[in-house]
Amino acid sequence: MPTELLTTLADNKLILSLLLVTTIFLLRFLLTTLMRKSSWPRQDIRRRVHMVHNFTNLALVIGLFAVWVSELRDFALSIAAFSVAIVVALRDAVQCLVGGIYQASMRSFTIGDWVKIGDQFGEVIDNNWFSTTLLEIDPHGLGNGYTGTTLYVPNGVFFSQSVKNLNFMRRYIEHTFSITRENKGENPFVIKQYITGRVLEYCESFKDVAERYCKLIESRMGVDLAGTEPKVKITTSELGHNVLTITLFCPREEATEIEQKVTEDFYRFWYGKDGNSDFAESAKA
């Protein structure tokens, strides 16, 4: 009797499929639960959970294919006349699958990296065969960090859009900002030395760390960066206004604060403290 029952179960592909799915999902649940309760760092837990999800998904696909291979073969033969329509219908899914394999072979990023895919910017929190999940980061907010939005990017975009790994920019960034002021007859270059000195003063506290980090990026990525020395440039706009452009290599969290301090120094130079025009008079002189 038990032998007949086992034979019946083996011949019933639907029951075998249900047993396979139940077993794999139960195994995934147990493994992820044990990992999340472990004392590993959060980043390591996320990577291991990601690996478990991918391997169990692969095992599920292979197992279901092995169970239904004979039926799939017969089915494929019976729909040979509709093969072109099926390829067109599954084009996006196949493209996503191939894109996932392409990304895995290139290893352009991994879980926890900061990446920019096309116009989407965020931290990679999951990556499977068909899509990549990003926790969006505001690229203009700098120190503000995450926006709270989760982005689901199909892997097919890897063939049509560029992928930039910005993981080295998590701590230090090359921040550029501009200040525009109407020309009122003064020589705009009189402020250049003053602003350069103020920027150097604001960057003094992290200058040594920034130089080491810049050299680390250059050695890891094999590129030559512009360096850590602040750069101040004066140009004119299309309307003839003076444009002061400052570029500095600084901690991401301090970029906005330094920008505000430099902007305040700029206007104090021209208009003086508390509405006085000491700086402006010295500039004209």
Strand boundaries in the chain, DSSP class E: 114-117, 120-127, 131-137, 146-154, 163-165, 172-181, 231-236, 242-251
| Model pLDDT, residue 273 | 55
C-alpha to C-alpha distance for 113 and 122, rounded to whole angstroms? 8
Q: 118-164, pLDDT tens digit by residue?
A: 888 888 888 888 888 888 887 655 555 677 788 888 888 888 888 87
C-alpha to C-alpha distance for 11 and 55, rounded to whole angstroms? 27
Q: Go through the chain and tell me how many residues it has.
A: 285
Q: Which is higher by pLDDT, 93 or 30?
A: 30
Q: 224-278, pLDDT tens digit by residue?
A: 666 678 889 999 988 888 999 998 888 888 888 899 999 999 999 888 754 444 4
Nearest residue to 175 via CA among 223, 116, 229, 246: 246
Between the CA of residue 76 and those of 16, 147, 178, what are the distances in Å?
21, 46, 62
The end-to-end CA distance of the chain, in Å, is 108
C-alpha to C-alpha distance for 227 and 218, rounded to whole angstroms? 10
Regarding pTM above 0.95, the answer is no
| Model pLDDT, residue 140 | 56
Q: Is 115 helix (H, G, I), strand (E, B) or coil?
A: strand
Q: Which is higher by pLDDT, 55 or 164?
A: 55
Residue 1 token pair = 């009797």
163 C-beta neighbours (distance < 10 Å), count: 16
Which of 16-30, 57-71, 86-100 shows the lowest mean pLDDT across its residues? 86-100
Between the CA of residue 136 and those of 96, 123, 148, 153, 205, what are the distances in Å?
21, 7, 7, 11, 30
